[in-house]
Amino acid sequence: MSLRSQVLDWLSKNVPPARVQHILGVEQMALRLADHYQVDPCQAQTAALMHDLAKYFPSQRLLEWARAEPIPLDPILEQYPHLIHADVSALVARTEFGIEEAEILQAIAHHTLGSPGMTSLSCIVFLADTLESGRGQTPELNRLRQVSFENLHRAVWQTCDYTLQYLIQTGRTIHPRVISTRNWALAMARDDSHG
């Protein structure tokens, strides 16, 4: 059985069907972006398929994984353990599917909050997670999809802004790493445009 089939089989037992559809949407967009930016398509596909493995783990289980590894925690992550599902998904990718490539594991771990200095592969999975077609067809999302095929860093910056605006409008807690990711991507986009 191919790795892809194994992952889809595992997902069918561990996440609801709507989430599998999201994951397939992320896979499709990550493959298109990888092709566009000449990033290894196998790595992009694997990271995309595995990015939400731990999405439905209960908070207690996420915290147990985090403490065992250990994944560095902070007060916000302790208060909202759901945010750790990205890091824990990378651990599940390693233990359940034998993924050892650091680039893939990092792209999975960074899909929710991003990380300053992240690789093109990580940028691609980060963007695909927020912008895959199942997320909706609003003018703002369609504009961000277009930007993601024009400049990777500008797209990460503006996708962080989109997420931050949503978090502010809905009165949610903001993890400071989203802001660090946003500031990094903004600076990189400026470098890109000044050659």
5 contact partners, CB below 8 Å, separation of at least 6: none
Residue 81 DSSP code: G
Of 22 and 182, the one with the shorter C-beta distance to Fe ion is: 22
* By the rule CB under 5 A, 129 interacts with Fe ion: yes
**DSSP for 132-178, written as a single string:** SGGG---HHHHHHHHHHTT-HHHHHHHHHHHHHHHHHHTT----HHH
Candidate ranges 39-47, 51-59, 132-140, 145-153; the one touching Fe ion (CB under 5 A): 51-59
Candidate ranges 7-15, 45-53, 93-101, 144-152; the one touching Fe ion (CB under 5 A): 45-53
* By the rule CB under 5 A, 27 interacts with Fe ion: no
Smallest separation, CB 52 to Fe ion (Å):
4
Of 87 and 129, the one with the shorter C-beta distance to Fe ion is: 129
Smallest separation, CB 22 to Fe ion (Å):
6
Find, among 137, 139, 101, 107, the residue nearest to 121 by Cα: 107
* By the rule CB under 5 A, 52 interacts with Fe ion: yes
Segment 132 to 191, residues that bind Fe ion, using CB under 5 A: none
Burial bucket for residue 24 (CB in 10 Å: 0-12, 13-18, 19+): middle
Candidate ranges 94-102, 121-129, 143-151, 171-179; the one touching Fe ion (CB under 5 A): 121-129
Smallest separation, CB 191 to Fe ion (Å):
28
Amino acid at 191: D
Give φ, ψ of 149 to 5 degrees. Answer: -95, 0
Q: Which residues bind Fe ion (CB under 5 A)?
A: 52, 129
